[in-house]
């Protein structure tokens, strides 16, 4: 598929725009000249953000919506068309997580997470596709390396992101079959420095965190906006995440044995500060970054290379060699 319009000519819808990856993407898109439709549950934060990014020409609007509700998402599309006449790229970022063993998580919390992470993506993608069929464009879904891996104590999150991958792949194939000029990209970030852990519903007796290595949200924003212009099927953000995925593919049994270590890496010192999180009620929005207790990488050389397919073949081959060596050692020790 050929390139899409340059960002200076695009109208971009960003869900989950009030914090983390969504907020980083919105700010970067505005900096690069795009018009924006900002979507989240936090109306006050969105209004301030639209004022910040819209500039004197009002190039950004805020639409309060719960992406898990199809009527809300349709209202987003209608607002975008009413204000700008169209949209060119739809980015599904909105997501939540729950920390804790599967057996302890309430049915209500399970359903809320799936409603946001999976149905929010389904709603956004299908409504966006109906509009984009008329003139082409991009649908970009933010999954995770948890689309390919299981993470104990974030099992429902991994479940939802596996489902997002299956839906995204199917939608892409169906659009290809009908000849629609719509690219569909799945972004799969590794651990990213956002407020997600501190906004999570937490059943653990410790504060949650993310397993290393951790990458900056701006790296995900860069990948998303690259895909908005240059269609790409999948983008993993973070070379460490790519190694995890490849390692699991090479030796799934060895990966399973890492469960105790993965659980430990998701706990930090100190008791939970707000265990209810923002799963059911929006709060504490407006921040791009969190406060992880470990070093955050400045960027991902692997991801930057992977955005250029010819160069990425060599990078993948090198990572495959590293993964094979690491897993062979782990298997021998086991």
Q: Which 3-state string (H, E, C) describes 235-279?
A: EEECHHHHHHHHHHHHCHHHHHCCHHHHHHHCEECCCCCCCCCCC
Q: Are the C-beta atoms of residues 190 and 238 closer than 8 Å to each other?
A: yes
d(C-alpha 69, C-alpha 199), whole Å: 21
DSSP letter for each residue of 68-95: TSHHHHHHHHHHHHHHHS--SEEEE---
Report the catalytic residues.
157
Alpha carbon distance 290, 192 (integer Å): 9
186 close to 83: Cβ distance less than 8 angstroms: no
C-beta of residue 143 within 8 angstroms of C-beta of residue 117: no
Q: How many Å apart are CA 19 and CA 167, to the nearest integer?
A: 25
Strand partners, 139: 90, 184
Nearest-angstrom CA–CA distance, 96 and 242 = 22
């Amino acid at each position: 598929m050929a390139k899409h319009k340059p960002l200076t000519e695009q109208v971009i819808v960003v869900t989950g725009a009030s914090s983390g990856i969504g907020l980083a993407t919105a700010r970067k898109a505005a900096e690069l000249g795009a018009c924006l439709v900002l979507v989240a549950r936090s109306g006050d934060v969105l209004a301030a953000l639209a004022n910040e990014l819209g500039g004197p020409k009002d190039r950004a609007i805020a639409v309060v919506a719960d992406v898990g509700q199809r009527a809300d998402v349709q209202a987003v599309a209608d607002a975008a068309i009413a204000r700008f006449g169209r949209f060119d790229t739809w980015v599904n970022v909105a997501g939540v997580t729950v920390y804790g063993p599967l057996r302890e998580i309430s049915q209500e919390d399970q359903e809320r997470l799936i409603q946001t992470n999976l149905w929010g993506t389904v709603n956004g993608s299908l409504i966006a596709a109906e509009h984009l069929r008329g003139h082409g464009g991009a649908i970009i879904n933010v999954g995770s390396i948890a689309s390919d891996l299981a993470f104990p104590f974030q099992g429902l999150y991994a479940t939802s992101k596996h489902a997002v991958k299956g839906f995204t792949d199917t939608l892409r194939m169906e659009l290809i079959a009908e000849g629609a000029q719509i690219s569909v990209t799945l972004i799969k970030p590794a651990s990213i420095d956002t407020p997600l852990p501190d906004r999570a519903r937490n059943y653990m007796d410790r504060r949650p965190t993310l397993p290393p290595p951790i990458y900056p949200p701006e790296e995900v924003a860069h990948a998303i906006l690259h895909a908005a212009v240059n269609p790409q099927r999948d983008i993993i953000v973070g070379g460490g995440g790519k190694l995890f995925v490849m390692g699991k593919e090479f030796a799934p049994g060895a990966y399973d044995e890492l469960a105790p270590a993965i659980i430990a890496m998701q706990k930090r010192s100190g008791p939970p500060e707000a265990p209810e999180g923002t799963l059911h009620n929006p709060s504490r929005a407006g921040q791009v970054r969190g406060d992880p207790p470990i070093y955050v990488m400045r960027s991902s050389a692997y991801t930057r290379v992977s955005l250029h397919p010819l160069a990425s073949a060599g990078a993948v081959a090198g990572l495959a060699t590293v993964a094979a060596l690491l897993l062979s050692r782990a298997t021998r020790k086991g």
